[in-house]
Amino acid sequence: MLSCHESTRLLSQAKERSLTLGERAALRVHLAICVGCRNFSRQVDILRRVSRAYAQGAGATDRSEDVKDPI
């Protein structure tokens, strides 16, 4: 049985490499009973989405969204 610490380690590594079948199976069992790690799993995805948005300039102010430039 995986601990939460080990589960989060695998959930993090899944962002860099494919997990083995054994790792995936162990993770599924753990996630089925652990709400904290289920939340962690979603949050690792959110961190990626947020980071990519930031790297595209989402952190910069958009007063009035995308002001249409007069042509």
Partner 1 sequence: MTQPPELPESTPSWSQDPVFLADLRRHMLKFARLQLADPDLAEDAVQEALIGALKNARSFNGRAALKTWVFSILKYKIADALRQQHRLVPASSLLRAEEDDDEPAALFDTRGHWQSEARPAHWKGPEAALQDQQFWRVFEACLEHLPARQGRAFMMREFMEMESEEICKILAVSLTNLHVLLHRARLRLRRCLENQWFVEAGKPC
Choose between 20 and 51: whose C-beta lies nearer to partner 1. 51
Choose between 28 and 68: whose C-beta lies nearer to partner 1. 68
Closest approach, Cβ 5 to partner 1, in A, equals 4
What span, in angstroms and rounded, lies between the C-alpha atoms of 8 and 71? 52
Should residue 71 be labelled a site residue for partner 1 when binding is judged by CB under 8 A?
A: yes
Look at residues 39, 36, 34, 12 and name the one whose alpha carbon lies nearest to residue 23: 12
By CB under 8 A, how many residues form the interface with partner 1? 44
